Amino acid sequence: MTGSSTLSPSLVRAVAFGLGGGFASAALLYSAVRGSVGLSTLLLILTPLPSLIVALGWGLPAALAAAGVGAVVMAVAVAPVFAAGYLLALGVPVAGVAHFAFLARYDANGVLQDWYPVGRVLAALALYGAALPVLVVALGSGTFTSLEAEFTQFFKALSERAPIGSGWRRMDEARLQFLVSTAIEVLPAAIASYWTLFMAINLYLAARVTRLSGRLLRPWPDLHWMSLPRMQALVFGAALAGIWIGGAWRVLGAGAFGACMTVYVLQGLSVVHAIGRARAPWLLYATYATLAVAGAIAIPLTALAGLIENLVRLRARVVSMPAALPPGSV
């Protein structure tokens, strides 16, 4: 065998680390499925972390290896349908992150000019998160209304266990049906929002870990100036249109709405950090305190700030952008 046909040591190492990361992610997911409610929630949130670490540290070959071994583990340990779900929810997006995170622009002489902006990586995650409810429906029963029996049973059990005298205990049939139908309508947005959020959090944690280990292949961006592409506003508008049209479009529109709201909250927090760092440090404390005690009010307002920033670039009108930002920041 000639030397040109052998695998390079770096590729072998990347695949090996990818296999380890994928196995760890699959083990976390399996443990989440089998564990208690509290522990399962934590394990489920951290499931993408090992795969993302190897993806950011060793690139696309590691990400593909992680996706493959994770799917195989889930197929053997649980069922083939779980392997498909693993690929949809983790394998494909982790490989996408490995691709987009290391896109770079070079000049005519081959000199590196810039890295793919972190805001566009986040927008790509949101776009996939928007489509995820549709993919889940395609993988499962074909419609969210098939979950009506499960939601009805859940709310009936909730009513039976509620304290005597509470509003939940006196739930009549009309209220029960209203709660079930509302849950079904909201579910696509909840799936997309939750998935986009926990993938973004895990991406940040994985990048931090990889940077501390010296394996991060691109410079750390200034997240205070992270900017979503203006196309995000078009996606948000299309989401509202899909919800208004109804039918099958409502599922896609609700998913896009949930994903957009999540990234707009993150964009809004970026704006708050930039303004707080430059002019008003108290703004940071006030924002996070309000999110903690009055999230129902603070979260939509933070998302609104992110939407306004996306449309008119308000942040640069309030504080001056640094003369030189790290590559890939905007």
65 with 14: CB under 8 angstroms?
yes
HSE, CB side, 13 Å, CA atoms: give it for residue 271: 25
Distance, CA of 293 to chain centre = 24
- Whole-angstrom Cα distance, residue 161 to residue 92? 40
Predicted pLDDT at 149: 76
Predicted pLDDT at 162: 63
What are 104's strand-pairing partners? Answer: 115
- Whole-angstrom Cα distance, residue 310 to residue 235? 12
94 CB burial (10 A radius; 0-12, 13-18, 19+): buried
Predicted pLDDT at 144: 72
Distance, CA of 185 to chain centre = 20
pTM: 0.90
Predicted pLDDT at 4: 45
Place of tokens 């969210």: 144
Length of the chain: 330
Block means of pLDDT (10 residues each) for the chain, length 330 residues?
61 93 92 72 89 95 95 90 90 95 88 92 96 80 71 74 63 76 87 95 96 92 94 96 89 94 97 90 91 93 96 90 86
Which of 307, 30, 81, 51 lies closest to 199, judged by CA?
51
Predicted pLDDT at 2: 44
Q: Enter the DSSP assignment of 286.
A: H
For residue 21, give both structure tokens.
Answer: 């990361």
Predicted pLDDT at 221: 93
Q: Which residues contact 248 (CB under 8 A, 6 or more apart)?
A: none
Q: Enter the DSSP assignment of 145.
A: G
Long-range contacts (CB closer than 8 Å, 24 or more residues apart) made by 243-249: none
Read off φ and ψ for residue 171, nearest 5 degrees. -70, 120
